[in-house]
Structure 1
Amino acid sequence: MEYLLVLNKDEDTVSIVCMKTKATIKKVETDYNPHEIIVSKDGKKTYITCSQGNKMNILNNETFEIERRLEHPDFQFPHGLGLSQDGRKLYMASTFSEKVFIFDTETDEITKVLSTDQKHSHMVAVSPDGKKLYIPNIGSHTITVVDTGTEEILTHFPVGKGPEGVAVHPDGKSIYVANQEDDTLYVMDTEKYEMKFKRRIGHVPIRIVFSPDGKYALIPNRESGDLSIIESEHELKGNVRPWEVKRIRVGVWPGGTVFNEEGTFAYVANNKTNDISIIDMDLLEEVEKIKVGIHPDGIAYLKVNKQ
């Protein structure tokens, strides 16, 4: 069975959407203002940051019930989430305390807290080899780099204004950064953190998600209500470079974006139209919408293999 787990941030719920019927089979109450979400590597639980509630909720994926709530004095707008390659570590960025929390996913206890010393550390991207974290700092216009082996900060490097979306290409060679204040995509190399390409995209880009094969990066543009589709190796007259090959209309205030396991479909949460856009990745078109709760934002894909 395939599900979408959709956070409705202005009604404090998560919608469990069955992808076979395209219907919500259950709504689960969360703490205040759920924002970001990630499914554990073994698929047994889901972590949800409730940003204005300053809590982390843990959803049991068998019962679809909140089984635990985590708190800490420095959970100040807890937000972005990432998992280690082996799934044993969970990384969380807390925006207003400007800290990165590291959790043991066996016990769900905090094992370390890092201060970025940057302003508004918001999201988390994990490199494909699991060796580094990239934390965009919206107020400092920088990306913080964390070594996951030593669990220490390596450096910070400048990007555009108001970076929020960040993702590493599956080949590990490029970091894509969406800068919401200047409507740009920066493509940085992972060796020297130098800019390789700069592209103007839609208005207020806030997320970046790669297809599993790395062919496309999807970037929802909040204020222009559209989705930039970036082909990571677009060839034109002998030149190969990242290029926006299409920009498609979705709902109002698109945000959280996720692919299915095969990469054949992507799903975009539209905050102000209370729905999910289904994107056919062969057609590069929106083919359907699914109604959910009030102001959906964070979204995750869950596949359950029944015995």
Structure 2
Amino acid sequence: MKLGLAGGLLLTVLAGCAPSAAPQSTGAQAMAPTLFVAAKRGNTLSKVDLATGKELLRLPSCTNPHELATSPDGLHVALACYGGTTVDIFRTSDLKPVASYDLGENARPHGIVWHANGRIYVTAEGRQEIVEIAALVHHLIPPPIRYATGQQGSHMLAVSPDARTAWTTDLGSRTVTRIDLVTRRAPLSVMVGEEPEGISLSPDGKTLWVSARGSNQAFALDPQTMAVRKTAATGRFPLRIAVRPQGDVAVTSDLQDGSLSVIDTATAKVIRTIPVSGPAEAQARFQVTILWSADGSRIYVAETASDTVAEVDYASGKVLRRLPGGEGGDGMAILP
């Protein structure tokens, strides 16, 4: 069934797949720690059991899927279909598709956050927008809320814990943009390094971290004024940045070095370098997305060229194992 909604959003709900009000026994409560991987070459979504390291499921998804986000209750995962115009929702238990949200012509959804408030925030890169979706509400879906960034290539996304503010990295414009989700005041964009792409908000919401892949730098910004507080020199081509759940360090994924730069968030100094594949294998592995485990003990590194995900022990810096991730595994989400 297709429902036309104001604001240009189309919702397709698959028959028999509407979520129930109460969690089912097949939901997250019954699952072991699980990693979900979007494979952008294989156009698939995978589910990996982290206890055993085995891939439990791999099913077709959409064209060129990229970033992922799990729902607050752990029952669903949202997939940004970068090669198209939709955000697709799957059940975490069996990867069965539940709904598809069409963001409009040339949307190219990429960065995605499923907030604790139950709403999905996603960049529509081709439309220079952030789109806010009230997902999976028993078919009674209110119109989407659209926020213009005014910048080219709004790619990655962070949202504040109180859902009042969002930030994007804008590759085409070489900027970082602050979007007020409540007052709708004009966006504030600032130039940060060369080709800023990675973005991560500190757990306390007081520092916005950005990695600029073209200038091999990471920046600590004031989230409201957007002033750069501190700058760190990283490894080569820091494609992503992720702050540890404990807030003590931020880690960049340095694609050309095949390594991770560990930055002390208090001093903005690189205190360690963790080799994942190393320079000799960097192109053969082509590491992209990084993801922390909930307890901060593991870092998961998507290696898109070798179709693997490296599991790194943070304390020792050792690669513990390489997990299957589908052809061109890139986006990742984790259920603790």
Task: Give the TM-score taking structure 1 as reference length.
Answer: 0.90
The alpha-carbon distance between structure 1 residues 191 and 109, as it changes in their structure 2 partners (threshold 3 A), is: closer
Measured after TM superposition, the shift of residue 87 of structure 1 is 2.5
Would the aligned equivalents of 2:178 and 2:224 in 1 still touch at CA under 8 Å?
Answer: no
Counterpart for residue 247 of structure 1: 273
Report the AA paired with residue 26 of structure 1.
L
The answer to whether structure 1 residue 35 and structure 2 residue 35 are counterparts is no
Report the AA paired with residue 148 of structure 1.
L
Counterpart for residue 11 of structure 1: 42
Runs (5+) with no aligned partner, structure 1: 234-240
- Of 119, 123, 135, 1:105 maps to 135
Counterpart for residue 182 of structure 1: 215
- Bigger proportion of residues as strand: 1
- Other structure's SS at 1:173 match: coil
Measured after TM superposition, the shift of residue 73 of structure 1 is 2.2
**CA distance in structure 2 between the aligned counterparts of 1:36 and 1:135, rounded to whole angstroms:** 14
The answer to whether structure 1 residue 96 and structure 2 residue 140 are counterparts is no
For residues 139-184 of structure 1, the C-alpha deviation after alignment (integer angstroms, 9 at most, x for no partner) is 1121111122235544222211111111111222221111111111
- Other structure's SS at 1:268 match: strand
- The list of structure 1 runs, each at least 4 consecutive aligned residues, that deviate by more than 4 angstroms after superposition, is none
Indicate the percent of aligned positions where both proteins have the same amino acid.
24
Moved more, 173-182 or 69-78: 69-78
Would the aligned equivalents of 2:149 and 2:187 in 1 still touch at CA under 8 Å?
Answer: no
The alpha-carbon distance between structure 1 residues 153 and 277, as it changes in their structure 2 partners (threshold 3 A), is: farther
Counterpart for residue 89 of structure 2: 58
Counterpart for residue 29 of structure 2: none
**CA distance in structure 2 between the aligned counterparts of 1:106 and 1:65, rounded to whole angstroms:** 14
**CA distance in structure 1 between the aligned counterparts of 2:324 and 2:144, rounded to whole angstroms:** 39
The alpha-carbon distance between structure 1 residues 31 and 110, as it changes in their structure 2 partners (threshold 3 A), is: farther
Report the AA paired with residue 47 of structure 2.
I
Moved more, 190-199 or 263-272: 190-199
Counterpart for residue 100 of structure 2: 69
The answer to whether structure 1 residue 259 and structure 2 residue 289 are counterparts is no
Moved more, 39-48 or 63-72: 63-72
The answer to whether structure 1 residue 157 and structure 2 residue 190 are counterparts is yes
The answer to whether structure 1 residue 125 and structure 2 residue 158 are counterparts is yes
The alpha-carbon distance between structure 1 residues 257 and 110, as it changes in their structure 2 partners (threshold 3 A), is: farther
* Structure 1 residues 194-213: aligned runs within 5 Å: 194-213=227-246
Report the AA paired with residue 118 of structure 1.
Q
Tell me how large the CA RMSD over aligned residues is: 1.7
- Of 193, 205, 220, 2:226 maps to 193
- Of 316, 321, 325, 1:288 maps to 321
Counterpart for residue 15 of structure 2: none
Report the AA paired with residue 181 of structure 1.
G
Counterpart for residue 18 of structure 2: none
Report the AA paired with residue 117 of structure 1.
G
**Which is higher, the Rg of structure 1 or of structure 2?**
2
The answer to whether structure 1 residue 298 and structure 2 residue 324 are counterparts is no
The alpha-carbon distance between structure 1 residues 231 and 53, as it changes in their structure 2 partners (threshold 3 A), is: same
Measured after TM superposition, the shift of residue 106 of structure 1 is 3.9
Report the AA paired with residue 89 of structure 1.
R
Report the AA paired with residue 81 of structure 1.
I
Counterpart for residue 23 of structure 1: 54
Would the aligned equivalents of 1:40 and 1:87 in 2 still touch at CA under 8 Å?
Answer: no
Moved more, 72-81 or 26-35: 72-81
Counterpart for residue 236 of structure 1: none
Counterpart for residue 49 of structure 1: 80
Would the aligned equivalents of 1:214 and 1:232 in 2 still touch at CA under 8 Å?
Answer: yes
Alignment: residue pair count: 295
